[in-house]
Amino acid sequence: MTGPRTIRVGGGQGFWGDEPDAPRRLVEGGPIDILMLDYLAEVTMSILQKQKERDPALGYARDFVGAIESVLPALTTRGVRVVANAGGVNPRGCAAAVRAAIDARGAGAALRIGVVTGDDLLPRLDSLVADGHALAHMETGAPLATVRDRVLSANAYIGAGPIREALRGGAAIVITGRSTDTALTMAPIAEGFGWDVDDYDRLAAGIVAGHIIECGAQSSGGNCLADWRTIPDLADVGYPIIEASADGSFVVTKHPGTGGRVSVATVTEQLVYEMGDPHAYITPDVIADFTSIRLIADGPDRVRVSGIRGGAPTPFLKVSIAYRAGFKAVGSLVYAWPDALDKARAADRILRERLDRLGLRFDQVLTEFVGASATHGVLAGAPSPDLAEVQWRVGVRSERRADVERFTRELAPLVLNGPPSVTGFAGGRPKVEEIVAYWPALIDKRVVTPRVEVV
């Protein structure tokens, strides 16, 4: 059997909100076979669920429609295929919107769209629990009943299988809901080379490739601490590309002439990002061993990756459940030199006294002094006594919306009735936000049945 020698997968979005022009630049800047777009973070599903409650046609990453429009010529003339988890909680709605956008352009009527569903467990939640699937919190062990009446969304992370099926069915665009980020890359590589579902070493290599490009330019020079001053032309940063080989090894690179950098340092920083136990990176298809990864510089902006080992997956899928968990608000004022930090501290004492007098109840009141200690706390050491300004930032959290609402009215008065040299209040009152908390759980794989339609 002869297959392709190399499969090129470009990672064109690292989250919902990434650079809108990146997918187009990736397909126009040079050869790629697959455009992989990752839109979903832990919290994204719950935001999408709220949008779907307001309008049943929504609930997907709407940026994706614009992305498809921007790359349509490459899809129709070069055969580039797209794999994206843009479907969120409404993959069919997403597919309909994409189809409408394609039809409106009058090109691409022949493009088939694959839709992967079956990850949404919300309609089945009570029957699953009744059938003995506890969906206990993975870290605390608490039963789901603790938060059941506040659940907003519940999605199983599904793997590469249904994406491979959609590609086999001729889909030029594959839209999934809560697939794992890494499956979006592994599936088209594994399908293109015809890897078996128990070829764990090579599947693991596909997963590692997916991890490297799932955060977009974070592996090609973005957010890279190593020699950050010398990383060229981030204004035109090249998004990362995997050049996969049939033996499971691959090269990480980017298009010639783009900014940024692909080096052992930039790739390593991405490999350790959000890492848990490196011996067991668990996915629905395979467990990848990150301690087996070998990286070698392979010319300018090229890193060769090889040696990856994998093992059989667990009988479980991870489930991401989002639930309503009270309210929060964060506000700030800016105090200027001289004695900026002392003034901010004085304002904080006054505010807390007023909140106490009002009898408001909060689960937490957090004060930070931005410019002095907000990100590193006491590790930052004693601040300079001569700071030009300090941003006083206060957040509160409570089950009681009214108490959070009242807090938001207590900051601005301090401009006139608190310590001096204060500014930075032009944004007005802080906004009250509903907190959506995250409940990770496991479920028996056998009760989750992904479905694939190619339309």
- The H helix count followed by the E strand count for the chain is 12, 19
Distance of closest approach, residue 225 Cβ to another protein, in angstroms: 4
Distance of closest approach, residue 27 Cβ to another protein, in angstroms: 28
Q: Which is nearer to another protein, 278 or 424 (CB)?
A: 278
DSSP three-state, residue 383: coil
Distance of closest approach, residue 39 Cβ to another protein, in angstroms: 17
Q: Which is nearer to another protein, 126 or 227 (CB)?
A: 227
Q: Which is nearer to another protein, 171 or 394 (CB)?
A: 394
Distance of closest approach, residue 102 Cβ to another protein, in angstroms: 35
**Contact residues for another protein (CB under 8 A)?**
42-43, 46, 139, 223, 225-226, 265, 268-279, 290-295, 307, 325, 328, 330, 364, 366, 368, 370, 374-380, 393, 395-397, 435-438, 440
Q: Which is nearer to another protein, 60 or 362 (CB)?
A: 362
Q: Which is nearer to another protein, 378 or 416 (CB)?
A: 378
Q: Which is nearer to another protein, 214 or 285 (CB)?
A: 214
Q: Which is nearer to another protein, 375 or 417 (CB)?
A: 375
Residues 6+ positions from 268 with CB-CB distance below 8 Å: 295
Distance of closest approach, residue 377 Cβ to another protein, in angstroms: 5
Distance of closest approach, residue 9 Cβ to another protein, in angstroms: 22
Distance of closest approach, residue 24 Cβ to another protein, in angstroms: 28
Q: Which is nearer to another protein, 22 or 394 (CB)?
A: 394
How many residues appear in the chain? 455
Distance of closest approach, residue 200 Cβ to another protein, in angstroms: 18
